[in-house]
Structure 1
Amino acid sequence: MKKNYIILLFLIGTYWYAKAQTDVELSQFQMSNITSPAFQLLEETVTDVYTPENVKALALHVQNNFGESLAIEVAPYFFINTKSKNRTYYKYIGVTKENDVLKQNPFSGLNTTTLSFAYLKKDFKNIVGDNDHKTFSIGIRTTLLRFFDKEQIYNNAEKIADELLKIPSPPIQILSMEAGPKKDEAFKKFYLEQQKIEERFKPFQKTIKPIFKLDGALAYSNLFKENTTDGGTVRRFGSWLTGEFNLILNEDDEKSTTNNYMSVLVIARYIEDGFNMEIADTYTTSYYRDFGGKVNFEFGKFTFGYEYLKRNGSISSERSVGTISFALDKNISLTGGFGKDFQVTDNLLAIFGINWGLNLGNTSASVAK
């Protein structure tokens, strides 16, 4: 009898959890920030052309040389005014309905602003000698503009509301039933109904990307010349804009549990690079302008891409890299890249990374408009 009470309480809890689907845990979305500006400036990344769709409250990025490269990325939005009743999901993405008119705030992406900090011990190709150099960098990234398909967002919300109305009330009457086969059968039927609820919501839990977004980033880095504080430092600075266009490949496939996308990205970047040594103990600053793009294909947990960047300025070079990413779950992803890097010599790039997102504090927002 006690066992039946425990099961019933669990099922009732499941019911109210389903009813609470109107609360969206913003940081529970699929991990998509697979690198950080602090790492991008140091050119220790699988990809140089990317914009994250769903950031985490806190993300950790580790590249090839485990223990000698680490970046931490923080999204302040998830720690500020978390109990406000005005933090709705639709306001977070900038799509709301007022007086039966759908409106869009193109600047809502400022909510995705992140701060990143990186430490890297690396043998930079433009520095004389074979020693790895200790380097620290900071970066900031934000979405300056983003535009969603307003009709698609609202129609998805209406479908969720319709499904919520179909959820049956918890069978409190089971408590008054006498123990026996009939009561066990009632528990079984209700349990199966709760499983069906989750299945019904899956088609509406797909990630919806903006049609277009424009990201901006800044990063600054210091390198210790002799790996000591007395040896002095040299710096590297970068700023860049990245635009992204997204196209759903399976929009009419209602049975699919994910939205598959083709994304086209373009980037324009300016870099002042002090990590150059022409002769021993003589550092010079180079100036680069990078222009390029990337094509990405996302199929569920897998993402495949190819990027090409042309570098002009103090030197001319190019980067041509194929990339792959696999999401182990919503919080952990593995990334890899292979191809040609910017260096004139020893420019074969083969890099592997792990990205781990953490959800801290109360980061939920109501779906209600």
Structure 2
Amino acid sequence: MNYKPILYIIVCVCLSFSGWTQEGKTDQNLSDFTMSNPSSPAFLLVGESPTEIYAPTNLKALALHVFNNFGESFSIEVAPYFFINRKSKNRTYYKYIGIEEDQTTGEVKQKPFRGLNTTTLSFAYVDKEFEGIVGKRKTYSVGLRTTLLRFYDKDKVYREAKKVGNILKNLDNPPVDVLADASGDDPVKRAIAEKAIIEHYKKEKERIHPQLKEFKKTVKPYVSVDGAIGYSALFKGDKIDSGTANRLGSWITGQGSLILNEGSDSERNNYLNVLVTARYIEDEFNIGANDQFFKTFYRDLGAKVELEIDRFSLAYEYISRNGSINSERSVGTLKYTLSKDITLIGGFGKDFPVDDNLVTVFGINWGVNFGGKVAMKE
């Protein structure tokens, strides 16, 4: 009996289940991930971000950030991992997040450095006024970000994966006579049988959908540590040959996340996140006597508390700056998840500059998928 047509149909139908849950899928399409990176290192370095303390938990292949003066301020962030060796069979979801089962002992292990998969490159352009500099200046910047350490509740993630696997294994097969017709030589009977098989698995999808509902929620690592570096160049005059002033920074951000509604019937997991950050920046975006640019050095230490409830996220962050310049930033932010690809974010409060330091920022973050996938099962 030729089972190739049957297997093809079953595979096609089973792939339609991939919109439900991150664990247990045959393939994880990047568009299934909810957008969660509210800015980029390239934007953060030039102070064009509602929040300066953040740690994305998942990424798009490509993210576009646009804040305030649309057309004069935008950033693109690229995750190379999703463009490299996309057809490899070893790109499983569990390997991506660093949770694997030892094939010899059966022990579930956490790979804390697997977060390097989340490395991103970001590019930004802004045309804005900077503290102490008269008039707008065109500025370009680049940034690199990666997750240095990341820990999930590995036993919980693995148990949920097993549950999803068992649910999908319990799909009822179509009647034997229908399967026989689908592999037979009669083209009419084969066409009818193939349609019947598709209808059968559509009903199976509806049957097990309630069982899979709890597994479609995004799960965050309970601890993660991110590192980033950035470089920015500001044109001193209106011409490219006028020379540039440079800004260079590096920083590290740690995040701890506590789930607040585990086991609930809600569509999303709610979290309380606590973040801390430390930065060092060398900055030439300063003008002194005779309109000469000069360099300053400063260190930033800050913390942030964030509450995620359904589609809303409410946060407050405080950063203390010491060095050649002593200042502080105290900003509240509100984020709304419009869809899995688009988030809206706004910030209001006191920014670093000494004068006119009231900041009001509104932005849109848009994640784009170019078809990259991460396989979900071994």
The TM-score normalised by the length of structure 2 is 0.87
Q: Match of 2:143, SS?
A: strand
In the alignment, residue 367 of structure 1 is paired with which amino acid? M
Does structure 1 conserve the Cα–Cα contact (< 8 Å) formed by 2:274 and 2:305?
Answer: yes
Deviation at 1:263, TM superposition (A): 0.6
The change in CA–CA distance for 1:280 and 1:199 in structure 2 (over 3 A counts) is: farther
The answer for the alignment partner of 2:163 in structure 1 is: 159
The answer for the alignment partner of 1:64 in structure 2 is: 68
Deviation at 1:276, TM superposition (A): 0.6
Does structure 2 conserve the Cα–Cα contact (< 8 Å) formed by 1:23 and 1:366?
Answer: yes
Aligned-partner Cα distance in 2 for 1:359–1:276: 39
Deviation at 1:24, TM superposition (A): 1.8
Aligned-partner Cα distance in 2 for 1:36–1:257: 27
1:38 aligns with 2:42: yes
Deviation at 1:15, TM superposition (A): 4.5
Aligned-partner Cα distance in 1 for 2:198–2:278: 60
Does structure 2 conserve the Cα–Cα contact (< 8 Å) formed by 1:115 and 1:140?
Answer: yes
The answer for the alignment partner of 2:122 in structure 1 is: 116
Aligned-partner Cα distance in 2 for 1:72–1:323: 21
Q: Extract unaligned runs of 5+ from structure 1.
A: 1-8, 179-185
The answer for the alignment partner of 2:107 in structure 1 is: 101
Deviation at 1:159, TM superposition (A): 1.1
Aligned-partner Cα distance in 2 for 1:200–1:65: 46
Q: Extract unaligned runs of 5+ from structure 2.
A: 1-7, 19-23, 183-188, 190-196
The answer for the alignment partner of 2:231 in structure 1 is: 220
Aligned-partner Cα distance in 2 for 1:211–1:26: 22
> Residues 308-352 of structure 1, C-alpha deviation per residue, up to 9 Å, x if partnerless?
000001111110011111111111111100111001110111000
Identity %: 52
1:126 aligns with 2:135: no
Aligned-partner Cα distance in 2 for 1:191–1:79: 32
The change in CA–CA distance for 1:108 and 1:276 in structure 2 (over 3 A counts) is: same
175, 186, 211: which one pairs with 2:222? 211
The answer for the alignment partner of 2:376 in structure 1 is: 367
The answer for the alignment partner of 1:326 in structure 2 is: 336
The answer for the alignment partner of 2:194 in structure 1 is: none
Deviation at 1:144, TM superposition (A): 0.5
Structure 1 range deviating more: 29-38 or 15-24: 15-24
Q: Which runs of 4+ in 1 moved over 6 A?
A: 9-12, 186-190
The answer for the alignment partner of 1:148 in structure 2 is: 152
309, 314, 326: which one pairs with 2:319? 309
In the alignment, residue 110 of structure 1 is paired with which amino acid? L
Does structure 1 conserve the Cα–Cα contact (< 8 Å) formed by 2:346 and 2:360?
Answer: yes
> Residues 118-137 of structure 1, C-alpha deviation per residue, up to 9 Å, x if partnerless?
0000011221x2x1100000
1:90 aligns with 2:99: no
The change in CA–CA distance for 1:12 and 1:235 in structure 2 (over 3 A counts) is: closer
